[in-house]
Amino acid sequence: MAEVPEHLLKRAQEARERAEAQQGGGGAAAPESSADAAGDAPAEESAGGPKIPDHLLDRSKSARDQAAAGGGAQAAAAVATAPMPAGPAQPEPTGPGGGTQRLLTVVKSGSIQDVKATPTDKVHVWPHLLVVEFVAALIFTAFTLIFSIFVNAPLLELANFNETPNPSKAPWYFLGLQELLTMFHPMVAGVTIPGIALFLLILAPYVDRNPSKKPEDRKFAISLMTIHLMFWAILVLIGSFFRGPGFNFVFPWEVGLFFDL
């Protein structure tokens, strides 16, 4: 249903008030309603007031008649959809400054703008990452320097190829493999088991694709790395403290330690 512009309603109200004032001053009987006075008032200007369009007066009178006959909402809809009478084009309403004014639909900015969240889990390599790595390198270098001052770690004498030390132990980082050689075939201990361990570590990032950095959300990755470290650490500890002459199993609290710092 089309709505009557506000300025036209105001004009009609002013016309009805003037008509009531004129009829009251002349002793004439008051009309049934101000709407009837506005409907019966002539379309021309009175007392210099603005002119009410004829089609609006006709629509108002038709609406009153149909409402009185019990048309209700259907009558109002019929009046709203009634064709406009042919006549001169009405001037477009203007604002106080003479310019046209229109109502604009209020649209929330979020529905028309593509707002992208700024990533907070990424930082630049320089200076954020490299500064942290440089500080860590300085700390470990200082620790190694201080440790070498207070701990005496002399080199042994030249190796005598005619005399093999007993037990002959590999460096600690290969001591796990040497321990495996005492339990399995060289092919299994030196190739198969280390190869499976490395393959599982390579496969881990593709199996666990969780991007979270919280330990409670990375149970698979943490469990896999813990098993790997504990397995290798136990082999190194056994080879260091529990292997004596002939690389036989011994208890260090009974026969002592068979390695040099």
What tens digit of pLDDT does each residue of 146-190 get? 998 988 877 778 888 888 888 888 888 899 999 999 999 999 999
Instruction: Establish if 165 belongs to a structural domain.
Output: yes
In whole angstroms, what is the distance from residue 61 CA to residue 9 CA? 14
Structural domain contains residue 94: no
Asked if residue 104 is part of any domain, the answer here is: no
The per-residue pLDDT for 108 is 57
Q: Which of 41, 67, 83 is the last residue of a domain?
A: 83
Comparison of pLDDT for 66 and 260, the residue scoring more? 66
- Structure confidence at residue 10 (pLDDT): 86
Counting Cα atoms < 13 Å in the Cβ hemisphere of 50 gives 10
Give the separation between CA 175 and CA 14, rounded to whole angstroms: 107
Which range, of 17-26, 53-62, 70-79, 135-144, averages the lowest pLDDT?
70-79
User: Which of these three, 33, 61, 83, is where a domain ends?
Assistant: 83
Token pair 């701990």 in the structure block, residue: 151
Is 105 among the domain residues?
Answer: no
Q: 19 is in which domain, residue-wise?
A: 6-83
Question: Is there a domain that residue 168 lies in?
Answer: yes
Given this model, what pLDDT does residue 140 score? Answer: 96
CATH number of residue 215's parent domain: 1.10.287
Q: Which two tokens stand for residue 165?
A: 């030390």
pLDDT band at residue 231 under the 50/70/90 scheme: very high
* 114 part of a folded domain: no
pLDDT for the residue numbered 144: 93
The token duo for 100 is 């046209």
User: Three-state SS for 78?
Assistant: helix
Task: Choose one of 83, 117, 135: the last residue of a domain.
Answer: 83
For residues 39 and 60, the answer to whether their CB atoms sit within 8 Å is: yes
pLDDT at 203 over 80: yes
Predicted pLDDT at 75: 47
Number of other residues whose CB lies within 10 A of the CB of residue 122: 7
Task: Decide if 175 contacts 239 (C-beta within 8 A).
Answer: yes
- Could you give the 3-state DSSP secondary structure of residue 96? coil
Instruction: Return the pLDDT at 61.
Output: 84
- Residue 116: pLDDT over 70: no
Contact criterion met (CB below 8 Å) for 239 and 169: yes
How confident is residue 215, by pLDDT bands cut at 50, 70 and 90? confident
Number of domains in the chain: 2
With a cut of 90, say whether residue 81 has pLDDT above it: no
The pLDDT of residue 86 is above 60: no
How much of the chain exceeds pLDDT 90, in percent?
24
The position carrying tokens 């990032």 is 205
